[in-house]
Structure 1
Amino acid sequence: MIRKILKYLLFTLLTIIVVAAAFFTYANIAVNQRFEKSYQIELKPLTISHDSVSLALGEHLSVIKGCTDCHASDLGGKVMVDDPAMGRLVTPNLTKGKGGLPADYSTEDWIKAIRHGLSRENTPLKLMPSQEFNLLTEKDLAALIAYCQSLAPIDRELPKLEIRPVGVLLTHFDKIPMVPAELIDHHREVVADIPNEVSLENGQYLATSCSGCHRTDLKGGDGHIPGSPKVADITGSGNVGKWTEGQFITALRTGGTPEGKHLDNNFMPWQMTKAYTDTELKSLYIYLKSL
């Protein structure tokens, strides 16, 4: 009797292993097909000015849009995560130093990467949050590219990005935006500019940078990867609805909340948001509280 039970349990276990292996193989093939898909897009001309005003705006955008958070403070790239199960997530060196971009990397290549989440070959970039950058105004996109083009070369050779089993499954089930090019309207018209003033419109524009973590409705939810904390509701129905403008600004500049908590920069990048101007933070507060 015991021998029959053991045989049954062994058969069940082997069946589960075979089914799991088959499903993972299917998921891995499907994910790689998504990585290799070629997109046909039409790039509109963009005038790039390298004057001091544009470069200053581009540098500011590189901080508040998270470029320096992901690609390192000097934009020379870094290994963000190296997990045996998840994978090795690496952000590239954005300068033209050793290990960085090729010498002939053009303005069109920058537009593809930032606005469309695509490589020079029109295949998807991994984890590049272009679903947010796609909404940049023409003025901001041009300024950001101008600043990136002005970077001094940094010699930094990095290991290749590698997606491991858990990363493959999270990508397959769309738990992480590994293929942002799929989330973009590649034919969307670019807005020329949004006035940098305290307004609902400016706040809505800025809140695009919050949507990657807090979801498109900004109401948060479960953490994006296993083990990560719950993502907060930052609309008027969450804590932001209870905070004053001053408390909101203090939280985004110091990481300290009115409730006496200290925000973990790994999950709420207040070291990035502290670079927002008063005008930007006031606009963001107005918009979030209105939701």
Structure 2
Amino acid sequence: MFKKILRITGITLGVIVGIAILAYAFIYVDMRLRISKTYDINAEPIQVKYDSASLAMGQRLVNTRACVECHGKDLGGTVLYEDALLGTFVSRNITKGRGGLPDDFTVSDWVRALKHGVNRNRKPLFLMPSHELSQLTETDMAAIIAYCSQVPPVDREPREFTLGPLGYVLSEFGLIPLLPAEFTDHQIHFAKEVKREISAAYGQYLSTICINCHGPNLKGGESPVPGGKYVADITSTGNPGKWSHQEFITALHTGVTPEGKHLNPAEMPWTITKSFTEDELTALHLYLKSIK
């Protein structure tokens, strides 16, 4: 009897392991196909100015749009996350230094990367938030390109971006936004300009930086970072919806909420939002409070 139980248990475990191996094989092949997909995308023409005003605007946008959070303060690339099971997530050197962008990297290449999340060969870039950046106006996109094209070169050979077994599985099910090109609207055209004023409309434009963590409806939910904490609802139905404009500004400038909670910048990047002006944060708060 005992031998029979062991035999049945062994067969059962063997079947489970076999199914798991087959499932992982399918996931691995599917993810490799998605990673190697070529996107039929032509970069929308854009006029880039390299005057002092454009460069100053670009520098500010690089800070407020979280470019430095991923690519480093010098834009020379960095290791974002490293784990044996998940993989090694790195951002690349986007300067013209050794290990960075080639000398012939064009404005069209920049547009493909920022607006569409693909490289010059039209293959998807890892973790490049094109679904957010595609919402930028032509003026803002051009300013970012101008500034990034002019930053001092950094010599830093990039480490290879690798996916571990768990990284493949979580990416397959959308629990890691590995390939934003897949959910970017590639048909959207540049908005020529957004009126910079204290209004919900301008706040909506600014809110695109929030959607990567708080979701398209900004209602929060599971963290996009594996093992991360539950993400807060920042609309009228969440805590920020109950705050005054000044309380909202103070929280996003100092990292301390009206309830006395100290926000962890690794979870809520108030180190980025502190660069926003009071008028910009008021506009953002107006928009968030308008979401029911």
Work out the CA distance in 2 between the residues paired with 1:241 and 1:106: 43
Shift of 1:187: 1.4
2:92 counterpart residue number: 92
The match for 1:251 is 251
Matched residue, 1:61: 61
What secondary structure is seen at the aligned counterpart in 1 of 2:210? helix
Residue 122 (structure 1) aligns with: 122
- 1:37 and 2:37 aligned: yes
Matches within 5 A, 1:132-281: 132-281=132-281
1:226/1:97 Cα in 2 relative to 1: closer, same or farther (>3 Å)?
Answer: closer
CA distance in 1, matches of 2:127, 2:144: 19
Please state if 1:4 is matched with 2:10: no
| Matched residue SS, 2:88 | strand
Task: Normalising by structure 2, report the TM-score.
Answer: 0.98
Q: Is the contact between residue 95 and residue 151 of structure 1 (CA under 8 Å) also seen in structure 2?
A: yes
Unmatched segments (≥5 aa) in structure 2: none
- The CA distance in 2 between the partners of 1:135 and 1:226, in whole Å, is 26
Once residues 10 and 225 of structure 1 are traced to their aligned partners in structure 2, the CA distance between those partners, rounded to angstroms, is 37
Post-superposition shift, 1:225?
3.9
Question: What aligned pairs does 1:22-33 form with structure 2 within 5 A after superposition?
Answer: 22-33=22-33
Read off the aligned partner of 2:201 and give its amino acid letter.
E
After TM superposition, the structure 1 = structure 2 runs for residues 92-111 of structure 1, keeping only pairs within 5 Å, are 92-111=92-111
**How big is each residue's C-alpha offset from its partner over 1:27-64, in whole Å with a ceiling of 9 and x where there is no partner?**
01101111111111232211110111101110111011
Q: What is the CA-CA distance between 1:222 and the residue it aligns to?
A: 1.7
Quote how far apart the aligned CAs of 1:184 are. Answer: 1.4
Q: How do 1:64-75 and structure 2 match up within 5 A? A: 64-75=64-75
The two structures, once aligned, show a CA RMSD in angstroms of 0.9
Q: Percent identity?
A: 45
| 48-57 or 7-16, larger mean C-alpha shift | 7-16
Provide the rounded CA distance (Å) in 1 between the counterparts of 2:114 and 2:191: 15
Report deviation, 1:176. 1.8
- Separation in 1 of the partners of 2:155 and 2:224? 33
* Partners of 2:176 and 2:226 within 8 A in 1: no
Q: Distance in 1 between matches of 2:273 and 2:165?
A: 33
What's the counterpart of residue 13 of structure 1? 13
- Structure-1-length-normalised TM-score: 0.98
Partner amino acid for 1:265?
P
Displacement of 1:226 in angstroms is 3.8
Letter in 2 for 1:241: G
Q: Deviations over 1:115-157 (max 9, x none)?
A: 0000110010011000000101000000000000001110111
Question: Displacement, 1:223?
Answer: 2.0
* 8 Å Cα contact 2:92/2:100 also seen in 1: yes
| Residues 196 and 279 in structure 1, CA contact (< 8 A), matched pair in contact too | no
Tell me if the contact between 2:177 and 2:224 (Cα under 8 Å) persists in the aligned partners: no
**Equivalent AA in structure 2 for residue 3 of structure 1:** K
Secondary structure in structure 2 of the residue aligned to 1:90: strand
In structure 2, C-alpha distance between the alignment counterparts of 1:32 and 1:247, rounded to whole Å: 46
Segments of 4+ in structure 1 off by > 4 A? none
Give the residue type in structure 1 aligned to 2:282.
K
| Deviation (angstroms), 1:254 | 1.1
SS of structure 1 residue aligned to 2:90: strand
- Taking the aligned partners of 2:225 and 2:9, their CA distance within structure 1 comes to 32
User: How far, CA to CA, are the matches of 2:81 and 2:280 in structure 1?
Assistant: 30
Looking at structure 1, the residues matched to 144 and 118 of structure 2 have their Cα atoms a distance apart, in angstroms, of: 17
Q: What is the deviation of 1:224?
A: 2.3
Unaligned runs of 5+ in 1: none
SS at 1:230's partner residue?
coil
Give the aligned length: 291
**Is the Cα contact below 8 Å between 1:247 and 1:257 reproduced in 2?**
yes
Determine the C-alpha separation between the residues in 2 that align with 1:223 and 1:41: 30
